[in-house]
Chain A
Amino acid sequence: MSITYLEAIREAQARALHEDPRVYIYGQDVGAFGGAFKATKNLANEFPGRVLDAPISEDAMVGSAIGAAIEGMRPIIEMQYADFSTVGFNQIVNNAATLYWRTETKCPIVIRLPSGGTPGSGPFHSQSMEALYATYPGLIVMTPATVEDAYSMLLEAVEIDDPVIFCEHKYLYYHLKAEALPTEALPTGKARIARAGRDATVVTYSAMVHEALAMAEELGREGIEVEVVDLRSIKPLDTDTVLASVARTGRMLAVGEAWPWGGVTAEVVARVACDGYNLLDAAPMRLNAKDTPVPFHPNLWGTHRPTARTIARAMRELLRR
């Protein structure tokens, strides 16, 4: 048996619905249709009345989830695409994210954002929104890169008493397979060494972990050993694991699929510079998508985002520094 990243998300939701009567799913087309990506396939049938179609109203979807959470429910909101969460942005960052701090009322909601680019998706179905949400206090932002993390982190997200932005990568939905669902997992807040190496560190997350691993494989054939750190969650960001890796390698490249101004890679570099300056043998580097909207045509899209090839080029530059 094998299971895809997408099926793992579906299975995690099925388990959450099964184990916790407070859980329900609300989003566009999630009911009988099973969701635009089929992440809720058959769940409306298996759990009558608990997987509900929403009108195209992201603001009201999130607002109602906040109210339901105040009443003790644990809603999972599916945004059809991460890009559309901008319509619900106000409710997420101003209402959900401030509720506990302002009123000591817990707000256990999970907002699933089908994130990142795929060929042909274009400017409005490809965005990586994680840094926007991470900058606001009061939110936890998960960015799973593996089938196992997609499953276990989504289950953990449902259990957490705070709003969780769950950035699941659409490119990984079908491309990534595992033999079985995991029985144990690292807790959120701990980064993972996806590949050990002594010459340089790549710090990345989500789909870029796989591009970085492919790069490390290629350079490994030349005797260059690159360590790949998978952040898993960008908020909280496991600075200790990043610094420990940089202490081993002395060089760091931060890679992200999001845009270059600010964001996760900038945060990682800033933390390493502030807390680990003496660990560095060379100035750190960042590699991000280009500073344009995400292009539609695969030729352009494949160049807009970092790939194993461009990460390798950046890595060779880092090693020459």
Chain B
Amino acid sequence: MLLARISEEKYASLYRAGKIYGGVFIGKGQEAISVATAMALRKGDVFAPLIRDQAGRLAFGESLLDATRTYLGSRLGPMRGRDGNVHRGRPRDGYMAMISHLGAMISVVSGTLIARRAKGERGTIGAVSLGEGGTSTGSFHEALNQAAVEKLPLLLVVTNNQYAYSTPAARQFACRHLADRAAGYGVEGHVLDHGNDLGECLDVIGEAAERAREGHGPQLVVGSVLRLGGHGEHDDGSYVLESLKRTKGGADCLKVTEQFILNEGLASAEEMERWRANAVQQVEEAVAAAQREPAPDPDAEDWCSISTRRLGDGYNGGCHESPG
């Protein structure tokens, strides 16, 4: 959580300095749910994170360097400058690379689980992260229904952070609680009231993951938090209601967790300061390393979007001059 927060603060700072191509979308306030989702997973499980899952991505095993080099547009790393920021992953390692269309990754994860069942591989689950806005899509409905019909070991974690870009939850859905939808799909639902309470996140999401793993079919977890910022770093989030920020649910999960650690005597303030310094150092090293890496080279690109090179169409409009 700490590494996620500090790395994303660094990306935001690089964005403001004009050092990042494209947008920066951070998970501030959602690290507890995100990290708890990844911590419920084991080796061999599948994870499809979304835009506010830096914590979950790191906990799932992504290197800080891969995250950083994708933001900085390095030619190295998983996306090679072809896609950026949060649209990264290593699908063959079970780490899915999201597309921007919300809800689309649910059925993709279901497909990995269908394949494993067909191959006779048991014991692994797939987790998908989504926001409350994503639950309004047709993809969400199709995929959750499909997963229910197939009784797949799917863990769907919906983080209701009260805003989809600027649209408040009241303009997004009209049911009492999104978890109520579980019954309509014939899946098990779990309410996570305090998504800024790491212990509750670990308990609720961990329990849901075990239910999925034990063969009880898809599990829908709906956690409530408040997005502590804008949609992205281009957005100041000035529309977020002050009244929400003052509630218990508006508290920062990182501060809540640090206070818990102090109260319980799990670590001293000095130790936590060392953790923070260590995280800052890791982030600085990752940024320095990624900044030394080569940028993508248009002349080195093969500009072919399929793996079967002989079937590339590649028609260039009769232009015989080099595109460079």
A positions within 8 Å CB-CB of B? 24, 49-50, 54-55, 57-73, 75, 87, 90-91, 94-95, 97-103, 105-106, 137-140, 160-162, 188-189, 235-237, 239, 270-271, 274-275
Whole-angstrom CA separation of A66 from B91 in the bound complex = 11
Q: Which of A61, A63, A68, A73 contacts B106 (CB 8 A)?
A: A63
Q: Indicate whether A105 sits within 8 Å of B92 (C-beta atoms), given known contacts A59-B138, A64-B107, A91-B107.
A: yes
CA distance A237 to B317 in the complex (A): 13
| Cα distance, A55 to B105, chains bound together (Å) | 18
Neighbouring B residues of A138 by C-beta, 8 Å:
305-306
Determine whether B204 belongs to the interface, using a CB cutoff of 8 Å to chain A: no
A162 to B79 alpha-carbon distance, docked (Å): 18
Contact A237–B315 (Cβ < 8 Å): yes
When distances are taken between beta carbons in the complex, the residues of chain B under 8 Å from A24 are 118
Query: Are the CB atoms of B107 and A101 closer together than 8 Å?
Result: no
* Residues A70 and B146 in contact in the complex (CB < 8 Å), given A106-B307, A274-B317: no
B107 touches A71 (CB 8 A): no
Among B57-65, B109-117, B250-258, the stretch that binds chain A is B109-117
| 8 Å CB interface, B87-142 against A | 87, 89-92, 96-97, 99-101, 104-116, 118-119, 138-139, 142
A60-B107 contact in complex given A94-B99, A105-B92, C-beta closer than 8 Å: yes
| Nearest A residue (CB) for B101 | A90
Given contacts A99-B91, A100-B307, A162-B306, contact A49 B108 (CB under 8 A): no
Quote the shortest CB–CB distance from A21 to chain B (angstroms).
9
Cα A24 to Cα B118 with chains together (Å) = 9
Interface assignment of B318: CB less than 8 Å from any CB of chain A? yes
B316, chain A: closest CB distance, angstroms: 9
Complex CA distance for A57 and B312, rounded to whole angstroms: 30
A–B Cβ pairs within 8 angstroms, 17 of them: A24-B118, A55-B146, A58-B142, A59-B104, A61-B146, A62-B107, A63-B142, A67-B110, A67-B115, A68-B112, A70-B112, A95-B101, A95-B108, A103-B78, A138-B305, A138-B306, A160-B308
Q: Which of A75, A102, A274 counts the most chain B CB atoms within 10 A?
A: A102
The answer to whether B311 touches A60, judged by C-beta atoms less than 8 angstroms apart, is no
Chain A residues near B310 (CB-CB < 8 A): 189
Q: Does B83 lie at the interface of the complex (its beta carbon under 8 Å from any beta carbon of A)?
A: yes
Shortest Cβ gap from B23 to chain A (Å): 17
B145 within 8 A of A: yes
Say yes or no: A235 contacts B313, CB within 8 Å: yes
Most chain A C-beta atoms within 10 Å of own C-beta, residue among B112, B116, B306: B306
Which residues does B use to contact A, with CB under 8 Å?
Answer: 78-79, 82-83, 87, 89-92, 96-97, 99-101, 104-116, 118-119, 138-139, 142-143, 145-146, 149, 305-308, 310-313, 315, 317-318
A99-B106 Cα distance, complex, nearest whole Å: 15
Q: How far is the CA of A58 from the CA of B142 in the complex (A)?
A: 8
Known: A49-B118, A68-B112. A105 touches B317 (CB 8 A): no
A236 to B: closest C-beta gap in Å:
4
Shortest CB-to-CB span from A64 to chain B, Å, is 4
A63 contact from B87, B92, B111, Cβ within 8 A: B111
For B139, the chain A residues whose CB sits under 8 A away are 59-60, 63, 90-91
User: A99 — which chain B residues lie within 8 A by C-beta?
Assistant: 91, 97
Known A-B contacts A63-B106, A236-B312, A237-B315; A71 and B143 likewise in contact (beta carbons under 8 Å) = no
Q: Let me know if B308 and A55 touch, CB within 8 A.
A: no
Q: Which one of B79, B106, B107 lies within 8 Å of A102 (CB-CB)?
A: B79
Cβ–Cβ contact B311 & A188, under 8 A: yes
CB distance from A119 to the nearest CB of B (A): 32
Q: Which residues of A contact B115 (CB under 8 A)?
A: 67-68, 70-73
Cβ–Cβ contact B110 & A63, under 8 A:
yes
Contacts of B107 in A (CB 8 A): 59-64, 66-67, 91
Q: In the assembled complex, which residues on chain B have CB atoms less than 8 Å from the CB atom of A73?
A: 115, 118-119
- Closest Cβ of chain B: how far from A256's Cβ, in Å? 17
* A140–B311 touching, CB < 8 Å: yes
Q: Is the CB of A101 within 8 A of B312?
A: no
Residues of B contacting A162 in the complex (Cβ-Cβ under 8 angstroms)? 306-308, 311
Q: A54-B146, A101-B82 are in contact. List 5 more A-B contacts (CB 8 A).
A: A64-B110, A101-B306, A102-B87, A140-B306, A236-B312
Residues of A within 8 A of B142 (CB): 55, 57-60, 63
Least CB distance from A101 to B in Å reads 4
Q: Report the Cα distance A106→B101, complex, angstroms.
A: 20
B152 to chain A minimum Cβ distance, whole angstroms, is 9
Q: Are A70 and B108 interface neighbours, CB within 8 A?
A: yes
State A64–B116 Cα separation when bound (angstroms).
Answer: 12
Residues of chain A with a CB closer than 8 A to B143's CB: 57, 59-60, 63
What is the CA–CA distance of A239 and B111 in the complex, to the nearest angstrom?
37
The residue of chain B having its C-beta at the shortest distance from the C-beta of A237 within the complex is: B313
Chain B CB count within 10 A is highest, among A69, A71, A275, for A71
Min CB distance, A128 to chain B, in Å? 19
CB distance from A232 to the nearest CB of B (A): 12
